[in-house]
Chains A and B, each alone.
Chain A
Amino acid sequence: MKNGKKVHDSQLSDRIANYVFYAIALVICLILAALLIYILVAGLPHVSWHFLTSPAKSFQAGGGIGIQLFNSFYLLVLTMIISIPISLGAGIWLSEYAKKNWLTDVIRTSIEILSSLPSVVVGLFGFILFVLEFNLGFSLLSGALALTIFSLPLLTTNVENALQSIHFTQREAGLALGLSRIETVWKIVIPAALPNILTGIILASGRVFGEAAALIYTAGQSAPRLNFGNWNIFDLSSPLSPFRPAETLAVHIWKVNSEGLVPDAALVSAGASAVLVLTVLIFNFAARYLGNRLYQRMTGGQN
């Protein structure tokens, strides 16, 4: 070497590898940036108050996503109402009562299987069980139940991990004060784990919000007109009725693209995608922000 320093092969490969790793990280960031920019640039110009509030059109251009947007949020609320209590109970059992035996093994395996099942399969199961057997028809309720199956493993594991991360001294303190085990969990451990549980719930909400495959055969692919002045939950034209068919935003994007009956399908789905992605982004940031805020407030510490 000219300057007297000998560069070993190993040092050279180290340097090259370094560049390669940086390049990979950069490429991935670029992919995401390109995705986001594309979605927002293609979609946002189409998003207007009219687009967000007016009903969709089946065969003409100019339809909005008002009902679909409402359906998505309402379905999310219904799903969470059903799945949060169940996952809370299941998570508590797993973290507090589960012994190391065959039963726990079976339970953990079931949850693992459930979390790895394709969402189409979950949707089809929801179709036979809720739509046909329980005779709920294509309805918000069928959809919410199917989405519950979809989100339960996610939420349960999250609750279990959140509870597990609370130090055992807190439990001991509760028990020493004469509380029963369940009271200790309810009054001491859960409040302490709340930030983590909440973060998990919001992140799961993001996934539920964008889920479509499990909904095609359960919540249906049509969005009948709603009468927003009608608050009778048993009336099918009421937005609050859980028994009406409800196409969500994600299903709408899929449908207009695969059926191709709407002339402005590309524009509608670009706008709808932008709304969907923005909502999921908001969910993500909210999870992070709220988690940190709650953590600081409840522990008084800095995170």
Chain B
Amino acid sequence: MDPIRESLLKTSKKTRRERRGRIITFACILLIVVMVAALLLFVTFKGLATFFVNHVNPISFLFGTNWNPGQKNPQLGALPMFLGSILVTIFSAIVATPFAIGAATFMTEISPRTGKKFLQPVMELLVGIPSVVYGFIGLTVFVPLMRNLFGGSGFGILTATLVLFVMVLPTITSMTTDALNSVPRNYRESSLALGATRFQTIYKVVWRSATPGIMTAVVFGMSRAFGEALAVQMVIGNAALMPHSLISPASTLTSILTMGIGNSVMGTLENNALWSLALLLLLMSLLFNMLVRWIGRRSSLK
């Protein structure tokens, strides 16, 4: 064939290259999606074995209060650690949110320049500190402190809350900052023009219109706190008992998981029960995710 005719009829080199690039990049993204799907499936199947293979009643699993999976008469009640997880999550969010909103407001409304110069890097560093280091600090500083202040062993929900507070603070702050930054400038200007003070503007206009964003930030922080493993495990005491006070040893899903899974044999009831805890953790994480989407959708309708 004549070369000109050939070059006109065949796909050009560029097109082929383009196709190849498209396929390769799509393969990368597909890999991620497949991985997520595999992860969800694997953990779900392993987690359901307790109920389908060992025929444990899911209701008694969720609401039982005794956890002795290794015994002859195994008791599988996950409520103590589920409650522990929920309590530390809620408490740390309650403590961290005012600080986060305050810091974010400082960075966006009060003194953006100082905020960018000092507070922003401080937040980035707080994110950067590895969670085991937080756990170690909790273990060497907060545990003895709590012991001296309140008696007891010093391990417990209160200590875990303090450690988690510092860990989720930067997450909530940076997302709140984004939310406050996205409040249109003219809202503030109109409010100030009406004679409102800066705080009235912040309180009545900026915070109100950023509420969905702030809520998203808090849920995100809670999601992090719920899934945090090692730092909590080091300071909470890991007693699978119903938490009856803030300063007595308790446990969370993650702490029992990290402690237990290495010491149990694959396929046994004890191991399956731990995988069910992992499934519970996964479901909670998905729930937080859905909550974030729900808030986002509701606010975008307006």
Contact indicator B36/A27 (Cβ below 8 Å): no
Contact indicator A121/B133 (Cβ below 8 Å): no
Known A25-B106, A89-B28, A89-B29; judge A117-B129 contact (CB<8 A).
Answer: no
Contact indicator A216/B262 (Cβ below 8 Å): yes
Known A120-B257, A253-B136; judge A24-B124 contact (CB<8 A).
Answer: no
Chain A contacts for B119, CB-based, 8 A = 25, 28-29
Chain B contacts for A180, CB-based, 8 A = 14-15, 17-18, 21
Contact indicator A250/B257 (Cβ below 8 Å): no
Please report which residues of chain A, range 98-153, place their CB below 8 angstroms from some CB of chain B when the two chains form the complex: 106-107, 110-114, 116-122, 124-125, 127-129, 132, 149, 152-153
The interface size bin for chain A is 35 or more
Chain A contacts for B107, CB-based, 8 A = 25
Chain B nearest CB, measured from A97 CB (Å): 6
Known A107-B33, A213-B229, A269-B136; judge A89-B25 contact (CB<8 A).
Answer: yes
Chain A nearest CB, measured from B270 CB (Å): 15
Contact indicator B141/A38 (Cβ below 8 Å): yes
Whether B213 sits at the interface, judged by CB under 8 Å, is: no
Chain A contacts for B294, CB-based, 8 A = none
Instruction: Point out the residue from A89, A120, A178 that lies within 8 Å of B258, measured CB to CB.
Output: A120
Known A10-B197, A107-B29, A129-B38; judge A213-B258 contact (CB<8 A).
Answer: yes
Whether A22 sits at the interface, judged by CB under 8 Å, is: yes
Chain B nearest CB, measured from A33 CB (Å): 9
Whether A77 sits at the interface, judged by CB under 8 Å, is: no
Contact indicator B125/A32 (Cβ below 8 Å): yes
Whether A158 sits at the interface, judged by CB under 8 Å, is: no
Contact indicator A270/B230 (Cβ below 8 Å): no
In angstroms, Cα B15 to Cα A276, docked, is 48
Contact indicator B28/A93 (Cβ below 8 Å): yes
Whether B223 sits at the interface, judged by CB under 8 Å, is: yes
Whether B191 sits at the interface, judged by CB under 8 Å, is: no
In angstroms, Cα B169 to Cα A212, docked, is 20
Contact indicator A280/B129 (Cβ below 8 Å): yes
Chain A contacts for B137, CB-based, 8 A = 35, 38-39, 273
Known A25-B115, A106-B33, A114-B32; judge A258-B233 contact (CB<8 A).
Answer: yes
Known A110-B32, A182-B17; judge A14-B130 contact (CB<8 A).
Answer: no
- Nearest-neighbor residue (CB-CB) of B37 within chain A: A110
Chain A contacts for B228, CB-based, 8 A = 118
Whether B135 sits at the interface, judged by CB under 8 Å, is: yes
Whether B118 sits at the interface, judged by CB under 8 Å, is: yes
Chain B nearest CB, measured from A138 CB (Å): 10
Contact indicator A117/B27 (Cβ below 8 Å): no
- Lowest 5 CB-CB distances: which A-B pairs, in order? A210-B130, A118-B227, A182-B21, A89-B28, A24-B102
Binding site for A on B (CB under 8 A): 14-15, 17-18, 20-22, 24-29, 31-33, 35-40, 42-43, 46, 98-99, 102-103, 105-107, 110-111, 114-115, 118-119, 122-133, 135-137, 139-141, 166, 169, 196-200, 202-203, 220, 223, 226-230, 233-234, 254, 257-259, 261-262, 266, 275, 278, 281-282, 285-286, 288-289
Known pairs A28-B103, A124-B257; list 13 more (Cβ under 8 Å).
A17-B203, A18-B110, A93-B22, A117-B285, A120-B281, A129-B42, A209-B130, A212-B132, A213-B229, A254-B234, A258-B233, A273-B133, A284-B128
